[in-house]
Structure 1
């Protein structure tokens, strides 16, 4: 718990609008991916085909959609950012691995590695000073 408090103090002292904008953009992108995963059935079928070998493929796909939609909104507002990121990490790791299980797509591989790195950064950095977390903390 002390580590999280130290990280929050450091992040609040070194917060910039650019980092908050980056967090918001990551949130919007994850929300967009959740929406596109629901609406684009061809995209859905490609990943469902890759996951047929594993048990619970439908459960995994439903988890991905829900975590992207809810986690994306939470990141945009900066609400429970670390928890939202923690829910995204298995999805992004799976997006990285699915390139080796199914059809290799370099663009998706680079994007998943980049998002995974950004999520690790925000897992350590937190939501920053311009977020709902900071606002609610100051209201106490």
Structure 2
């Protein structure tokens, strides 16, 4: 717990608008992907064809699209950012693995790796100074 508090103090002291903009861009990207997957379910099933025997269709429909949708929304506002990122990590790791196991799509691999790296950054960094988390913490 002491490590998280020290990381939060460092993050709040070194918070810049560009990092907040990056957090919002990450959230919008994830939100967009969630909406895209919800409205385009056959495309989602096509993307996850290489690992379909491992996890099944029900997992895809009931976890991936809603997790992107809700997680992206939370990340945009900086509310429960670390929890939202933790929910995204298995999906993003799976997206990278799908490009390695299945047919390689360079643009999807670059997008998945970029989002994964930025998500890991916000898992460590937190939501930053300009977020709902910080506002609620200051109201206590």
TM tier, smaller: over 0.9
Gaps of 5+ in 2: none
Match of 2:81 in 1: 81
CA distance in 2, matches of 1:54, 1:61: 14
Match of 2:21 in 1: 21
Gaps of 5+ in 1: none
**Aligned partner of residue 53 in structure 1, secondary structure:** helix
TM value normalised by structure 2:
0.94
CA distance in 2, matches of 1:51, 1:117: 22
Contact 1:51 1:57 in 2 (8 A): no
Q: Following superposition, which runs of at least 4 residues in structure 1 exceed 6 angstroms of deviation? A: none
In structure 2, do the counterparts of structure 1 residues 60 and 41 end up closer, same or farther at CA, with 3 Å as the change threshold?
A: closer
**Aligned partner of residue 27 in structure 1, secondary structure:** helix
User: What's the CA shift string for 1:51-97, capped at 9, x where partnerless?
Assistant: 33224332134211111011000000000110000111111000000
Contact 1:48 1:57 in 2 (8 A): no
Match of 1:91 in 2: 91
CA distance in 2, matches of 1:107, 1:132: 33
Contact 2:45 2:57 in 1 (8 A): no
Contact 2:15 2:128 in 1 (8 A): yes
Report whether the alignment pairs 1:56 with 2:43.
no
Report whether the alignment pairs 1:135 with 2:130.
no
Number of residue pairs aligned between Structure 1 and Structure 2: 140
RMSD, matched Cα: 1.3
